[in-house]
């Protein structure tokens, strides 16, 4: 899959990792449809990317909305052959903390946005990709999902978050195996500590301290580095059914 031939849907594309992916694809000559719940940021992001980008306000946890957004993106771009799932939340909460036990609603919301939202977009995109004519390699599309190193070394306060990201890791291989007959690849990226808007909102001293926990390079990852890996995933047909840690060799401690 060449970036210039991409007709990509990017969830959470209004900022952070998703926006970096959208930027890279458009810069290479591809087309992007940003899906995000933040209407103002999403519209501004699409406008900044130019005529090969568009935006649809979308709640990825709403199945009808997800299906509709993929349909509109397909119509707008003349097809969908890439889906990059970056929409997610990461609010920490202890299972049993000073304020009492974690509300079930908190856990369900994390699972709904991070895991179920990824499933809803991915399956809708897969349906659209199955309608594509295969390229010379027999490929009809690529689905990229975003997990986290928390899926492997979740910290105290990350029970809900780690569960949601661990679910993404667990479904990567079976999804890839199932969609292989349609010429659709599935790959997951598990980022470490990255300079996302949430991280950037922290004091610089705190950002620097967190960055130094990474063995090398001893800093926060940049969204462009995440986007570069997504680009490699799209272009390297042998990457399939795998979760790739993008973390500078960090292994998170308990707290």
Q: Could you give the residue numbers annotated as active site?
A: 161
Cα 119 to Cα 127: distance, rounded to the nearest angstrom: 12
Residue with tokens 């707290």: 255
Question: Can you state the angle between helices 117-129 and 159-179, rounded to 10 degrees?
Answer: 20
Cβ(86)–Cβ(11) below 8 Å: yes
Q: Dihedrals φ, ψ of 247, to 5°?
A: -145, 5
Q: Which two tokens stand for residue 22?
A: 């959208």
Q: Dihedrals φ, ψ of 69, to 5°?
A: -65, -40
Q: Which two tokens stand for residue 207?
A: 């950002």
Residue with tokens 């969908």: 80
Cβ(22)–Cβ(45) below 8 Å: yes
3-state secondary structure of 81: coil
Cα 65 to Cα 178: distance, rounded to the nearest angstrom: 24
Give the C-alpha distances (Å, rounded to integers) separating 76 from 5, 52, 85, 212.
15, 10, 19, 43
Cβ(250)–Cβ(214) below 8 Å: yes
Cα 245 to Cα 136: distance, rounded to the nearest angstrom: 29
The secondary structure element, H or E, covering residue 214 is none
């Amino acid at each position: 899959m060449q970036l210039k031939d991409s007709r990509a849907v990017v969830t959470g594309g209004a900022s952070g990792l998703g926006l970096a992916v959208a930027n890279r694809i458009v810069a290479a000559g591809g087309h992007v449809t940003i899906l995000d719940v933040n209407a103002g940021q999403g519209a501004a992001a699409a406008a900044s990317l130019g005529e090969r980008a568009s935006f649809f306000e979308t709640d990825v946890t709403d199945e009808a909305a997800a299906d509709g957004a993929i349909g509109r993106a397909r119509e707008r771009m003349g097809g969908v052959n890439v889906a990059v799932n970056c929409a997610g939340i990461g609010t920490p909460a202890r299972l049993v903390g000073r304020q009492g036990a974690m509300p079930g609603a908190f856990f369900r919301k994390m699972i709904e946005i991070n895991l179920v939202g990824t499933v809803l977009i991915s399956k809708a995109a897969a349906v659209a990709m199955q309608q594509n004519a295969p390229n010379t390699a027999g490929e009809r599309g690529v689905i990229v999902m975003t997990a986290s190193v928390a899926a492997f070394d979740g910290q105290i306060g990350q029970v809900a978050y780690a569960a949601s990201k661990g679910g993404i890791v667990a479904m990567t291989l079976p999804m890839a195996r199932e969609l292989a007959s349609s010429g659709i690849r599935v790959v997951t990226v598990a980022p470490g500590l990255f300079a996302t808007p949430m991280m950037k909102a922290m004091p610089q001293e705190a950002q620097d301290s967190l960055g130094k926990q990474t063995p090398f390079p001893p800093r926060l990852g940049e969204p462009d580095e995440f986007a570069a890996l997504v680009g490699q995933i799209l272009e390297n047909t042998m990457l399939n059914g795998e979760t790739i840690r993008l973390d500078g060799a960090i292994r998170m401690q308990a707290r």
